[in-house]
Structure 1
Amino acid sequence: MTNSSLSRFNPAQPGAQGMKVVATGLLVVMAVVFGVTRYFEPQYPWLAYVKSFAEAAMVGGLADWFAVTALFRHPLGLPIPHTAIIPRNKDRIGEALARFLQENFLIPTVVARRMRNIDVAGAVGTFLQTPNQDEQSRIRSGASRLIADMFESLDDERLGGIVKGAIASRLRRTEISPLLGHALASAINEDRHVPMLEAGIRWTARALDANEPLIREMVHKKANWVLKLAGLDEKLADAIIDGLRKLTVEMSTDPAHPVRIKVEEALAQLANDLQTKLETRERVENIKEQLLDNKSVSLWLDTLWQKGREAIIKAARNPDAVMAGKLGEILKSMGATLETDPRIRKAINQFTRRAVVGLSASYGSSIVKLVSETVRSWDAQTVTNRLEAAVGRDLQYIRINGTIVGGLVGLVLHLLDTL
């Protein structure tokens, strides 16, 4: 983690500093009270109780100051044994955190059990539907900062390798031919293929206009010398081009055109072959493997990961902007669908469970190693300062409580001694 990203994740620092002043000030007050009561005790014997309270409070406050300080640094800069615990044990803390993640979150059986009753789709739908509720806004803001810091701090190359490896591995294990066939068949049954077919016809017409000189040149080269001598090659080229233009116009205006029907029949046959014909399925799988082995696809995945990472960080830094405008309307519409359609919710939850369990099985050890090595690479002093700031408010309360409890114990002991 870079120092800059660590410095941003510091929500508790002002409160921690304020409580540190209060705790130290209370200790100073107890010292002043002890000095004053000790001076005036011969004249006012009852001040012995106040002096006992202040004396014990100083001892308790100093002891807790030493304990709190020893967690993060050497008290007064002295190399006292068993102090500066967190800087000295940073690597062990990273390894312990990695083991905790592995044992509690990244074992497939544990992941499956934890994911069984989690309604991921429902939670996402509710969140997208009501993004401006105060409680959810605070959760979104905190989660967004955490996500952005995580993506900026983790080893980009290692994390990108894990993500790209997961995508490639999932694609290799998934037989895409039946999926493509089912998608194509569904599109044909619901006439969703018609816009694509008409777009293909329009593209053909534009390509014909753009390549008219090339067609004429090909006809001229293929024509024999008799046709050229009679000038019939030009008429033949005109007839071919006009016929093709007429064909594209008729196909675009007549849904029952024979050629168009033939194209639709070919698409239906392709959808069936993709799902049932072994030869077609094997051919598609071979093409998929060749694409995944191609260096251009690997570079494309690199670019896709980088753009996705940058988009996630940008969105996490400004979540309100993501929920605004057209994109926000689309996300809210998606949220409504997730909340109201039980089939989609069930499918998404099932897919999420399988994906998370599969990732934990395949990449759990890699994620654990990534966390451990990332923590090991952090600057010890910066991490110490950030951790102290994150929990410093509670630690200063320990000092205050130690001062007060110590004073009360001293008062009780003095009372018992007097009695």
Structure 2
Amino acid sequence: MIPAEEHTSPNLNRSKRYAMIALMMAVLAWLALMVAAKLLPEYVWLIHILMLSAEAGVVGGLADWYAITVLFRNPFGKIPIPKFLKDHTEIIPRNKARIAESMGRFVQENFFSPQVVERTLSSTDLSLAVGQWLANPTNNSQVTQVIQQTVPKIFEFVSQEQVGRFIQANSVQWVRNTQINTLASEMIRAVLDNDFHQDVLQRGLDLAHDWMTQHPEQTQALTQTLFKELGVWKLAKGASWIGIDVQKRTIDSLIERVESMLADPEHPWRQKIESVAHDLMLQLADADSDASARLNSTKDALLDSPQVLNFISGAVVILCNAIREDLLKTDSGIAENLRVAIQQLGQNIVSNQDIRRLLNEKLSGIAINLSDQYSEKVILFISERIHEWDSREMIDKIENEVGGDLHMIRVNGVVVGAFIGLVLGIIRALVDVAF
């Protein structure tokens, strides 16, 4: 460890020097006045007043020196002294454990307690500050630059093949351990509860109707293929000999049915589709149902397929390479899109008060929970770090930081003591003259 003398602050050295000079001046004045009292008896009354002032200055300086010294060390060294005196020296080193606990408790109560965190966050619109920061073009550009510089280096440090194998191993294992019937059931529930399926169905019917009406030749070819697959093509072709165009009637009937479904939101086929989706949702919610068993078995079969696993790994490698090559460009499209997305996110947060309120509530809840869970660990961490400090090093550190002001108290002790002694001397002289 570096000796204390080598890293003592200039302020501490200067204060010690001033304190020593003040004490020595008081001592020298006291000695000089004692000699003067013998040599100048006619002025002994005045000399006694000044001598009392000097004595009080010496006493004040020495008393303050002792009070400051016992904070850090034992000023008596190896000299035997009464126990009640020795027990009140080296106050800081002796109470290091209590100081450590007190500091940890102070930090916990004033910075990390749930009440303090809640009160601080309740008066701060944190999401607004975050949104304004993200919306600032300089800030979102800096964030994008950091990402643009960091991601390619990560890909260089870890090869794409390793990333692919890692994602493949972990994602496959996660999917294998997940009963996706519950996930599928909740997804269907979300679609049905929000009537999203009606929008999808309406859009799908529109596309199907437009395609069949605008591509009659392809529709006929598709119908012909379907008839052949069903084994009724020869029957349909034979019916055409007697004037019945089964293929055209089928297409017209299908178009008519699609148009009727488009025109009627309560069409029976629509209701049937919704009913089938609802039944499927309920079946998938039951882990023991046949639908759940089929879905999970299909999932496991796909995960056991080498082709699927190779596809996942290869897709990851291709994706990583594409991202890396794009980010290395000065006019990276990914980086620009990311910057725009960050800026729009910030602007949306700023402009949407409901979102800010929700974010503030969530962030406040998270912060309060974290402070409640980890505040005691903060106390323990601070206490342990202080316990690990070397006592000598801790004393030097504290003395360097506050010792300068403490030693100036010694100067004040000499000055204030001398002034008090002067006042007392004058009072005593007045009493002697009066009586």
Q: TM-score range by the shorter chain?
A: 0.3 to 0.5
What is the TM-score normalised by the length of structure 1? 0.44
What is the TM-score normalised by the length of structure 2? 0.43
